[in-house]
């Protein structure tokens, strides 16, 4: 049996801090809501970062439809992201700090219905009762609260949402997944896959392979947990291993993974931070450890002790697109790389303050070829100014020709958009050619997903489905594009009568 106590408690205070992103050195004391309110009129794209409250925060509406929604498209599209940023006269400093809110778009019967609910975590309920923030977060120091009893005490469940085996999983990389009822988005509670695994981290980017098996990881300091959940939502196995971190690096931000038919592929960016030391300005810094490469850990699914570590040029990595095994013994891995951690350290803080911080995204899509036999590495740059990579869901872990991203082409030289994204792009990895649609500089484009057309298997026999925030309308819009012709723009839209907080990730489930 996996020893939860060994995994969590033996790490000590520094390990728990690295696990949760918290500690005595955690960033700023809370900000004032009026500072953001004063700046917001000058930065209309940032209006969604005002967030919601937990009294009037629920959202329910039947969207106004435009264009033609195909009758054969029926299902539920989920999104998750930080949504509650203010309480008791305080405001969080970092975008990633907000309590999570799951959005559900139910598509079918000639209508698109929206429902949005805050995830009722133990943290949210305790702070609602107290009328103030009690617990520190990644970027905001909250004084005078109770001691942190474990990862789920600070779990904000704000990063991704996936319907699997009849329940919606709201996920955050530092603790348990929270289960929600897909019928009404009522929070059921944290998921305990096995009693001795309670509160062991279940990260926010699980992968469901072609066989319907769910694979995920969790990290705690220098330790790694690999989860295997079957299609019925039952734990098949949990394995524990060590992260190959350099000496002196207590932990790193392990945010995503890829799967192939036989392997798990985990990027380990060399991002260092000492959570236990409080700098003079009260703010911690995320930075790439000098001289350290981007490590990629490749493990066999059946036995994670059978592994190989590859060293790539140093970059910050949040998200992967896909991985697959080539015939020549190589693993092809697509991911988004950035030269530093400045967005994590500066951009997300500037957004929450409503400050002008002109920035053109400098992250790019990479394709790494990792040779399992020789250890040889080749890295190719495929596209710049993109994020949130996705592939056709039936190609996860298999060769995929087309990669979908949200994009921020440098078309607006005077913009002040904090690296926000304005369009979507499909890249043909065989030719390098792209299809793209630009929503406009008054629109924030969020992550889009590929939805297969019923009865079709081709990668472009699909729709693109994703949300945007339109600053002119002050409304969130659900967009549908044909994957074979995304340059034509949306074939259908569902316009909500309100704007939603900007989200991170989500997934579609067919009815």
Which tens digits make up the pLDDT trace of 136-185? 998 888 888 898 989 999 999 999 999 999 999 999 999 999 999 999 99
Q: Which among 449, 425, 441 has a CA at the least distance from the CA of 365?
A: 425
92 alpha carbon, distance to own chain's centre: 19
Lowest mean pLDDT among 50-59, 342-351, 405-414, 431-440: 405-414
**What pLDDT does residue 418 have?**
56
Q: Which among 235, 185, 173 has a CA at the least distance from the CA of 2?
A: 235
Q: 93 labelled as ligand-binding?
A: no
Give the chain's length: 511
Task: Please report the beta strands in 95-233, taking only residues with DSSP state E, as ranges in sequence order.
Answer: 99-108, 111-118, 140-141, 160-164, 167-171, 178-180, 187-190, 207-208, 214-220, 223-229
What pTM value is reported for the model? 0.93
| Residue 69 pLDDT exceeds 70 | yes
| Residue 25 pLDDT exceeds 80 | no
| Residue 279 pLDDT exceeds 60 | no
Distances (CA, A) of 46 to 32, 358, 375, 418, 472: 16, 13, 45, 9, 12
Find the DSSP H helices in 41-135. Answer: 122-130
| Residue 345 pLDDT exceeds 90 | no
| Residue 251 pLDDT exceeds 70 | yes
| Residue 290 pLDDT exceeds 80 | no
DSSP element (H, E) containing 39: helix 33-39
Q: 205 labelled as ligand-binding?
A: yes
């Amino acid at each position: 049996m996996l020893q939860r106590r060994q995994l969590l408690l033996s790490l000590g205070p520094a390990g728990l801090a690295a696990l949760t992103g918290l500690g005595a050195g955690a960033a700023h004391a809370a900000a004032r809501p009026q500072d953001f309110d004063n700046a917001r009129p000058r930065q209309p794209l940032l209006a969604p970062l005002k967030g919601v409250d937990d009294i009037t925060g629920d959202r329910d509406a039947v969207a106004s439809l435009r264009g033609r929604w195909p009758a054969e498209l029926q299902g539920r599209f989920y999104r998750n992201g930080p949504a509650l940023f203010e309480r008791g006269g305080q405001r969080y400093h970092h975008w990633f700090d907000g309590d999570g809110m799951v959005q559900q778009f139910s598509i079918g019967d000639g209508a698109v219905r929206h429902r949005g609910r805050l995830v009722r975590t133990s943290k949210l309920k305790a702070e609602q009762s107290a009328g103030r923030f009690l617990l520190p977060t990644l970027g905001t120091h909250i004084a005078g609260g109770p001691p942190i009893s474990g990862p789920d005490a600070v779990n904000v469940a704000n990063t991704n949402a996936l319907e699997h085996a009849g329940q919606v999983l709201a996920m955050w990389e530092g603790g348990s997944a929270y289960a929600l009822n897909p019928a009404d988005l009522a929070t059921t509670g944290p998921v305990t896959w096995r009693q001795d695994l309670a509160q062991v981290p279940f990260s926010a980017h699980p992968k469901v392979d072609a066989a319907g098996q769910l694979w995920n990881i969790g990290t705690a300091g220098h330790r790694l947990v690999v989860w295997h959940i079957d299609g019925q939502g039952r734990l098949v196995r949990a394995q524990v291993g060590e992260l190959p971190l350099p000496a002196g690096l207590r932990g790193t931000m392990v945010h995503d993974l890829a799967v192939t038919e036989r392997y798990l592929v985990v990027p380990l960016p060399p991002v260092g931070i000492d959570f236990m030391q409080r700098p003079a300005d009260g703010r911690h810094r995320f930075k790439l450890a000098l001289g350290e490469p981007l490590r990629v850990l490749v493990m066999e699914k059946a036995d994670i002790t059978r592994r190989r570590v590859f060293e790539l040029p140093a970059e910050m990595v949040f998200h992967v697109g896909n991985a697959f095994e080539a015939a020549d013994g190589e693993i092809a891995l697509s991911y988004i790389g950035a030269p530093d951690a400045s967005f994590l350290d500066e951009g997300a803080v500037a957004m929450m303050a409503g400050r002008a911080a002109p920035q053109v995204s400098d992250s790019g899509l990479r394709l790494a070829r990792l040779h399992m036999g020789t250890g040889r590495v080749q890295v190719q740059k495929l596209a710049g100014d993109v994020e949130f990579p996705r592939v056709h869901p039936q190609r996860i872990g298999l060769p995929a020709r087309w990669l979908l991203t949200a994009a921020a082409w440098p078309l607006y030289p005077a913009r002040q958009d904090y690296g926000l994204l304005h369009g979507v792009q499909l890249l043909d990895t065989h030719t390098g050619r792209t299809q793209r649609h630009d929503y406009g500089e008054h629109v924030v484009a969020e992550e889009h997903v590929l939805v297969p057309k019923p009865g079709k298997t081709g990668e472009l026999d699909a729709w693109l489905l994703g949300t945007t925030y339109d600053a002119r309308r002050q409304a969130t819009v659900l967009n549908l594009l044909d994957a074979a012709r995304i340059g034509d723009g949306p074939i259908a839209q569902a316009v909500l009568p309100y704007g939603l907080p900007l989200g991170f990730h989500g997934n579609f489930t067919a009815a």
